[in-house]
């Protein structure tokens, strides 16, 4: 698992370099000291039961959410169920199935990339609909250093497109999202 995490992290860095170039930044922008030279790179092994999701009853393998960091690499076992919503603000939301391609990662863009790019890149709203068969996947969440300041990039703002997000550190954002997500949890769990 340590080797997998190390190699998947290198793939994440390569993707971050391509993202940086697309934003008219230096390729190593995200790897510079203080940004992602010591990323919060969390590997999660995910298992979804063989039950069938029933959205009308609020039963999902995993409810709709976006990932909080820069990007997420997801390796899937080929079992369907992952869905994305391209316009998270649309009502009603339109969900599309994401195919699992053998040997490929699914890449979800995260909230911090949306903030950095001033909404040019939008975080991926996604969910898992269980299909009556167990599903396994491996997620690598690539988040900036805890103290990294995430603010709208100069290359992504203009007079017609002012910053849409206030600056915030990665750690502050992650903690606020964690508390928001787990606001119903007992207080003792949130003070870990």
Residue 182 reports pLDDT greater than 70 = yes
Enter the tokens of residue 79: 């079992």
Contact predicate 125/118, CB 8 Å: no
**Please, which residues have CB within 8 angstroms of residue 1's CB and are 6 or more apart in sequence?**
43
* Cβ atoms < 10 Å from Cβ of 76: 22
Question: CB under 8 Å to 183, separation ≥6 — which residues?
Answer: none
Dump pLDDT digits (tens) for 70-79. Answer: 999 999 999 9
The beta strand positions in the chain, using DSSP E, are: 40-48, 62-65, 71-76, 82-85, 96-97, 106-109, 125-128, 135-143, 149-150, 168-169
One DSSP character per residue, 89-121 reads T-SS---EE----TT--EEEEPHHHHHHTTTSS
CA 77 to chain centre: 19
Backbone φ and ψ for 114, nearest 5 degrees, come out as -60, -45
pLDDT tens digits, 97-151: 999 999 999 999 999 999 999 999 999 999 999 999 999 999 999 999 999 999 9
What pLDDT, on a 0 to 100 scale, did the predictor assign at position 165? 97
For the beta carbon of residue 16, count every other beta carbon within 10 angstroms.
23
CA angle 61, 127, 13 (to 5 degrees): 120
Say whether pTM exceeds 0.85: yes
Rounded distance between C-alpha atoms, residue 172 and residue 111, angstroms: 13
DSSP lists the bridge partners of residue 105 as: none
Specify the pLDDT at position 185.
Answer: 57
């Amino acid at each position: 698992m340590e080797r997998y995490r190390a190699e998947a992290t290198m793939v994440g860095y390569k993707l971050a370099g391509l993202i940086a170039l697309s934003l008219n930044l230096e390729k190593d922008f995200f790897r510079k000291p203080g940004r992602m030279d010591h990323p919060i790179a969390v590997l999660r092994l995910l298992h979804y039961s063989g039950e069938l999701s029933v959205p009308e009853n609020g039963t999902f393998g995993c409810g709709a959410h976006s990932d909080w960091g820069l990007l997420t690499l997801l390796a899937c076992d080929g079992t369907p169920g992952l869905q994305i919503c391209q316009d998270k603000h649309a009502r009603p939301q339109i969900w599309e199935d994401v195919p699992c391609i053998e040997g490929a990662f699914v890449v979800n863009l995260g909230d911090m990339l949306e903030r950095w790019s001033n909404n040019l890149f939008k975080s991926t709203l996604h969910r898992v609909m269980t299909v009556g068969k167990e599903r396994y996947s491996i997620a690598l969440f690539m988040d900036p250093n805890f103290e990294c300041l995430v603010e709208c990039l100069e290359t992504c703002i203009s007079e017609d497109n002012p910053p849409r997000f206030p600056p915030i550190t990665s750690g502050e954002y992650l903690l606020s999202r964690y508390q928001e997500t787990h606001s119903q949890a007992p207080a003792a769990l949130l003070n870990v």
